[in-house]
Amino acid sequence: VGDLTAADLKGKKVFVRADLNVPLDDSQNITDDTRIRAAIPTIKHLIQNGAKVILSSHLGRPKGVTPKFSLAPLVPRLSELLGIQVVKADDCIGPEVEKLVAALPEGGVLLLENVRFYKEEEKNEPEFAKKLASLADLFVNDAFGTAHRAHASTEGVTKFLKPSVAGFLLQKELDYLVGAVSSPKRPFAAIVGGSKVSSKIGVIESLLEKCDILLLGGGMIFTFYKAQGLSVGSSLVEEDKLELATSLLAKAKAKGVSLLLPTDVVIADKFAPDANSKIVPASAIPDGWMGLDIGPDSVKTFNEALDTTQTIIWNGPMGVFEFDKFAVGTEAIAKKLAELSGKGVTTIIGGGDSVAAVEKVGVADVMSHISTGGGASLELLEGKELPGVIALDEAVPVAV
Ligand code: 3PG
C-alpha cells in the first residue's frame, strides 16, 4: 500500500501525523486555521472508511511540557470541521493514551498532546518512535509542513509501523511543488522575492534549471543592482553576495532563461510605514534613500511576461508588504496570479510570506495550490529530498 485510497481502513487504528502548528494569540485563540483546514480531507476519508484516527502534531517549539503549547485549543475547531467530537488525550504515549485508543469507536478521532513535549521527538529516538507506533496499525503522514524534519513522529515511526503512506495534503503538495514544477506546462515562470538573496540561492539555482522566465523582486534585487554597478542608496545589500548575484545572472543567460529585474522601484527616506516615498528608475536611487517595493513600470513588465505563461510559481514578496505604502507591488502580483489562475494557468504559491500576501488580497481560494509549508516548501523547491517523504513505504507517486 503506497496510497491512502488503496488502504484497507475499516476498524484499523491509524496514526496520522499532521502539521497542526497554527498560530495562537495570547488568549489561546487560533488566528489562522489554514493548517487545520488543510488536514481535514485525510481525516474525513479515514472517518468515512471506519478507521480509528489517532491524530498527532507538534505546536511551536516547547522545551518540555509547556501548557501554552498544548493542542487543547485546537479541539473545538477540529470537531467543528469534522462534524464529530474529537477526544483529546493529555499525553501522546503511555497507559492513559492506550486506554483512550482502546475506547475509540470506528470513525472516532483522538487528538494526542503535543509530541514535542518529549525531547525524544526532535532527537528522533527510536524507543519513543516505537511507543508512538505501538498505538496503531497503520501510519499516514500528512504533515507536509514538518516533512523536512527527521523527527520521531515524522520519520522514526515509519521504521516500526507498516504500511506508512502519504495523506492527501502531503500528496497534493508534492504534486504541485515537485510534479508541476519539474514537468511544467510551458512557458513556466518563477517569481522569487524576499529580503535576502542568501536565503533564496538554492531556490533560484534550482528553478533556473526548470523555468523559462525568472522574475526577481523584494530586497534581494539591490544586491543584483549593486553587482551590476548601479548605486542603491541605503537599500539592503548583501556585500558578500555580489559575486554570487553576478554568477546567477550569467547562469540565467547561459540557460536561455529570461531573467527580469524590476526597472523601477519605490524608495523611502526611512524604513517605516509612514516614510516619505517616491518612484524612481532602478538606476537612479539617490543617497540616503532605500528601495522598499517594485514600481509600476516593473509591475507592467512583469504582468506582460506572466501573460505569456502556463505555469507560475511564486515564492517571496516584492517589497515590504507589511507596510501598506510598500505593498502595492506584491499585491499587484497576487492579483495578476489570481486573474491568470481564472484563465487556466497553474498558479502555485510556495510557503511563507507570499501566502500571507495572497491572503491579504483575498485571492487565496483561486490559486491552483497554496503550500502549507514554509521551510519544507523551500527545501523542496531547492530540489532536496524530505526525510518525512522518503521514509514512506514507496516513493510517493507524484502526479504531473
Ligand atoms: C513550520 O511551521 O514551518 C512547521 O510546523 C515546522 O516547524 P519547526 O520549524 O518548528 O520545525
Residue 386 domain-assigned (yes or no): no
Q: Which of 50, 107, 375, 383 is catalytic?
A: 375
The reported pLDDT for the residue numbered 2 is 58
- For ligand 1, atom 11, the nearest C-alpha belongs to 146
Q: What is the CATH number of the domain that holds 274?
A: 3.40.50.1260
pLDDT value for 331: 96
| 74 and 182 share one domain | no
pLDDT for position 1? 41
The 3-state DSSP class for residue 336 equals: helix
Given 107, 134, 166, the domain boundary residue is 166
Kindly state if the Cβ of 145 falls inside 6 Å of ligand 1.
yes
Closest CA to ligand 1's atom 7: 146
> CA-CA distance, 91 to 111, in Å (whole number)?
9
Same structural domain, 316 and 361: yes
Q: Is residue 62 within 6 Å of ligand 1 at its C-beta?
A: no
35 counts as catalytic: yes
Instruction: Ligand 1, residue 61: give the atom nearest the CA.
Output: 10
Do 251 and 354 have their domain in common?
yes
Single out the residue in 148, 166, 184 at which a domain terminates: 166
- DSSP sequence for 94-121: SHHHHHHHHTPPTT-EEEPP-GGGSHHH
Q: Which atom of ligand 1 is nearest to the CA of 35?
A: 5
CA distance 400 to 384: 18
378 CA to centre of own chain: 7
Question: Residue 141's closest CA among 169, 160, 107, 173?
Answer: 169
Determine the pLDDT at residue 60. Answer: 97
> What average pLDDT does the chain have?
95
In a domain, 393, yes or no: no
Per-residue model confidence as pLDDT tens digits over 118-138: 999 999 999 999 999 999 999
Range of the domain at 39: 4-166
Burial class of residue 67, CB neighbours in 10 A (0-12, 13-18, 19+) = exposed
Q: Does 182 share its domain with 331?
A: yes
Q: Quick check: ipTM above 0.90?
A: yes
In-domain check, residue 353? yes
What domain count does the chain have? 2
Ligand 1 geometric centre to CA of 285 (Å)? 38
Is 162 domain-assigned? yes
Residues 191 and 157 in one domain: no
**Model pTM?**
0.93
Residues 6+ apart with CB under 8 A from 222: 232, 235, 236, 237, 291
Low-confidence ranges of the chain (pLDDT < 50): 1
Last residue of a domain, one of 111, 131, 166: 166
State whether 352 and 292 are in the same domain: yes
Clarify whether 352 is annotated catalytic: yes
Task: Give yes or no for residue 185 CB within 6 A of ligand 1.
Answer: no
For residue 142 and ligand 1, the question of a CB distance below 6 A is answered with no
